[in-house]
Structure 1
Amino acid sequence: MLTKALAALSLAITCQAQAITIFACEPEWAALTKVLLPEAGVRTATTHLQDPHHIEARPSLIAQLRGADFAVCTGAELEAGWLPMLQERAGNPKVQNGQPTMFYAAQHVELVDPFKGAITPFSGDVHAHGNPHLHTDPRRFMQVAKALANRLGSVFPDKKPLLDQNLGKFDADMSSKLLAWEKQAAALKGRAVITQHATFGYLWLWLGLRPIADLEPKPGVPPTAAHLEKIMALSQSQQPVGIVIAQHHDPKPGRWLASSMGMPSKMLILPATVVDERPDSIIRWFDQVIAQLSALAK
């Protein structure tokens, strides 16, 4: 009996030692990884309440990246302020740029709004390759899912059948929801919206909303009273459907503007990404975002 127990324990330890560990820079990629490879141990660097541009390279994150077999991040300079430092200090050859085990989602979709001109320390949170917040478009999300599944399958070939199966289910689930989301949000098409940052830029593009003003005078620069006054004057003839910001932004400037414009109920605070990493979290997040946005048009 003791021998069998020790053998079982040894097997469990061996299996645990062989488990794939994946480091995800953002919650959406952690959730996607768990959809594709549920058995993997996934560590996430950020939450939906954090601005992914500005993350502290904490010792705990360095340790997590050091032990990772694979890493998935957004790229397009979104993590430029902290990921290179993590990579250097972790000293893990598997998660260095150019390695097949270092995956950047932005390399697998078409980005919009690349910054034109010289980038200086005074430019704000701008991106030469384009807007990195690509996960807010479900069509691009599905493209990343396919690319990530293919990459994981090439790195871990014994997992390819499982990856293909899970990718097929995810693609079918997202495809079945896509038309429903577009129908639900149809009343928003062509409507003006006031935003903060380009966090939901791909969402506006997908749904046909027109961002007419940004609460930030420069990307990543907090709103100022003078800038908000300009937005209020600009928006008087545009009849925006609402003001939409992410949960990691300070809500006070948007609330002041909404109240000053006589539309306090049209101030919407959305999670910029999934709020947990369960397998259904991606679809639940899109469900929530579409439902709350659609309510603005009523």
Structure 2
Amino acid sequence: MKKLFAATLLIAAVTPASAALKVLACEPEWGALVQELGGDKVDVTLATTALQDPHHVQAKPSLIARARNAELLACTGAGLEIGWLPVLIQQSGNAAIQPGKPGNFAASDFVQKLDVPTRVDRADGDVHPEGNPHIQTDPRNIAKVAVALAQRLEQIDPANRATYQQRAQDFAKRWDAALARWSAQAAPLRGTPILAQHKAWTYMENWLGLQYVDALEPKPGVEPTAAHLQEILTRQKDRPAKLIVYAAYQDARSADWLAERAKIPAVQLPFTVGGTPAAKDLFGLFDDTIARLLKGAGK
């Protein structure tokens, strides 16, 4: 009897059936979505924060170690992480998260990309050949990614399939209700002309019917210059925008400079989960985004 008890303890020690699925999310929005879908069945860590530019991240040893142990890598794709993710995956030596494996999930694969360039030339700045990667600024894309991500969790962790299915259904119900609320709240914003510090809001503009006028960056990924800001200020006479939007991780000085001279508000948006105090989760992200836009537009 003692031998049987000891053997049972040994088996339990080497096969932790209740161990949570280890997930490394490249951006906070996907970490938050995995948590919504997985609950206590997932152990989520983030490669970036809301106050970091997701284009530019260092594959530090601590990050490589997290990638080495991950069972699922959840990222945006569409070239957003091209400067650091391939190196991270390679140096991790983790077969489970290599491209083409179930453990490698790219959210942008499951939505229609906008701003797909007709030509790719580095002289045009940081242009993404597959299209604009900032898909998370439209909550309708979040809904599409949630369906695919839940299925991927089921594939990787079939023992908890029922949990993922139930949580996905619950999330979809709450998200659909929130989408209806956001659309109603944001209706007064339709047609509002805006300036953007970086061309990161294409999907949000498409969702809300905002009118994109110009970018503060002379080229994608190139910091705003005094000369370019002056050009935008001059063009305001003929093509006036009503507000300037920029992400929480971006330096506000260029937006503030232009806002002061153009006499329009500069609105900081969370961009992702954690970007502002109110954007504590995916629902808070869009609650706060809509509230800030309405306040900036005087609606």
Same fold (TM over 0.5): yes
Query: Which deviates more, 233-242 or 192-201?
Result: 233-242
CA distance in structure 2 between the aligned counterparts of 1:185 and 1:208, rounded to whole angstroms? 9
Rate the CA distance shift 1:115–1:8 in 2: closer, same or farther, 3 A. Answer: same
CA RMSD of aligned residues (A): 2.3
Alignment partner, residue 162 of structure 1? 163
Code of the aligned partner of 1:198 = K
1:148-194 deviation digits (Å, cap 9, x = unpaired): 00111122212211111111111111110112111111111011000
Alignment of 1:22-41 (within 5 A): 22-39=23-40, 40-41=42-43
Q: How many residue pairs are counted as aligned between the two chains?
A: 291
Partners of 1:262 and 1:68 lie apart in 2 by 49
Cross-structure match for 1:274: 273
Sequence identity percentage: 41
Within the candidate set 73, 76, 91, 1:74 is matched to 76
* Shift of residue 267, structure 1, vs aligned partner: 0.9
Which amino acid in 1 is paired with 2:46? T
Question: Secondary structure of the residue that 1:158 maps to in structure 2?
Answer: helix
1:248 aligns to what?
249
Matched residues in 2 for 1:80 and 1:205: separation? 25
Partner of 2:199: 198
Is contact 1:66-1:90 (8 Å) kept? yes
8 A contact 2:76–2:107 mirrored in 1 = yes
3-state SS, counterpart of residue 193 of structure 1: strand
Cα displacement (A) at 1:9: 11
Structure 2 partner of 1:83: 85
Aligned equivalent of 2:132: 131
1:217 alignment partner, SS class? coil
Q: Secondary structure at the match of 2:136?
A: helix
Q: Give the whole-Å Cα distance in 2 for the aligned partners of 1:12 and 1:210.
A: 59
Q: Return the alpha-carbon distance in structure 1 between the equivalents of residues 138 and 201 of structure 2.
A: 9
In structure 2, what is the equivalent of residue 221 of structure 1? 222
CA distance in 2, matches of 1:22, 1:196: 32
Q: Which has the higher contact order (CA 8 A, sep 6+)?
A: 1
Matches within 5 A, 1:43-192: 43-120=45-122, 122-192=123-193
User: Whole-Å Cα distance in 2 between the matches of residues 8 and 237 of structure 1?
Assistant: 76
- Residue 10 of structure 1: CA displacement? 8.3
Shift, 1:15, TM fit:
3.0
Contact 2:274 2:280 in 1 (8 A): no
For 1:77, the aligned partner's letter is G
CA 1:217–1:19: 2 relative to 1, 3 Å = same
Distance 1:167 1:32, change over 3 A: same
1:290 partner letter: I
Instruction: Work out whether residues 193 and 240 of structure 1, in 8 Å CA contact, stay in contact via their aligned partners in 2.
Output: yes
Letter in 2 for 1:115: P
Output the TM-score relative to the length of structure 1. Answer: 0.92
Q: Unmatched 5+ residue regions in structure 2?
A: none
Residue identity opposite 2:98 in structure 1: Q
In structure 1, runs of 5+ residues without a counterpart are none
Q: What is the distance in 2 between the residues matched to 1:286 and 1:70?
A: 26
Distance change in 2, residues 1:139/1:19 (3 Å)? same
* 1:133/1:198 contact within 8 Å kept: no
One-letter code of the match for 2:237?
Answer: Q
Q: What is the SS of the residue equivalent to 1:78?
A: coil
What's the CA shift for 1:24?
A: 0.5
